[in-house]
Amino acid sequence: MPTTPEDFLDTAEGAGKVMAHARLLLKLTRRLRNALPEPLDSAAQVANFKSGRIVIHAENGAVAAKIRQMSQRLCSELSVEGAKCNGIDVKVQPQVIPWQSSASNRKPLSATAISLLTQTASDLPQGALRSALEALLTRADRRPGE
């Protein structure tokens, strides 16, 4: 009896089931892309197939709504040559691009905030909090004209 996922995949029975399911998902994904109109085909993908239900992840709510409207036609088109589709579940799952980061917006401090932080830092004894406030004041952007 396998005790870890690696042990399970090392057995012929385990790897065979996983590979068969992966091939089925790839085949369903290709069929979905061919069945969807051009603006939608790149905004949705097959996530899973279980007990006759196909789970589709859509990038946003508008795509999900359109796919739900088309679900009967899609179900019959995805059922060709293999997996019998009893229904489609659509979930919104925005595509995450790991190498894309958003730039942070630095918010300038007002003259009032700077004076309050300066006063607070000067009232504190030497230590980590005072050093942190002084570093913040050194790096802080100031509002123009103040």
Against a cut of 0.75, is the pTM above it? no
Distance CA 14, CA 139 (A): 56
Q: What is the pLDDT of residue 92?
A: 93
CA distance 70 to 79: 14
Helix (H) or strand (E) holding 46: strand 44-50
Angle at 96 between CA 93 and CA 102, to 5 degrees: 130
5-92: CATH topology: GMP Synthetase; Chain A, domain 3 (3.30.300)
For the chain, how long is the longest CA-to-CA vector? 76
In the block, tokens 């918010």 appear at 107
In the chain, CATH 3.30.300.180 sits at 5-92
pLDDT at 146 over 60: no
Q: Which two tokens stand for residue 37?
A: 């109109």
**Does 13 have pLDDT greater than 80?**
no
Q: How many CB atoms are closer than 10 A to CB 109?
A: 18
102-131 pLDDT per residue, tens: 666 778 888 888 899 999 999 999 999 999
Condensed to tens digits (0 to 9), the pLDDT of residues 63-91 reads 999 999 998 998 888 887 667 888 899 99
**24-63 per-position pLDDT tens digit:** 888 888 888 988 988 888 889 889 998 889 999 999 999 9
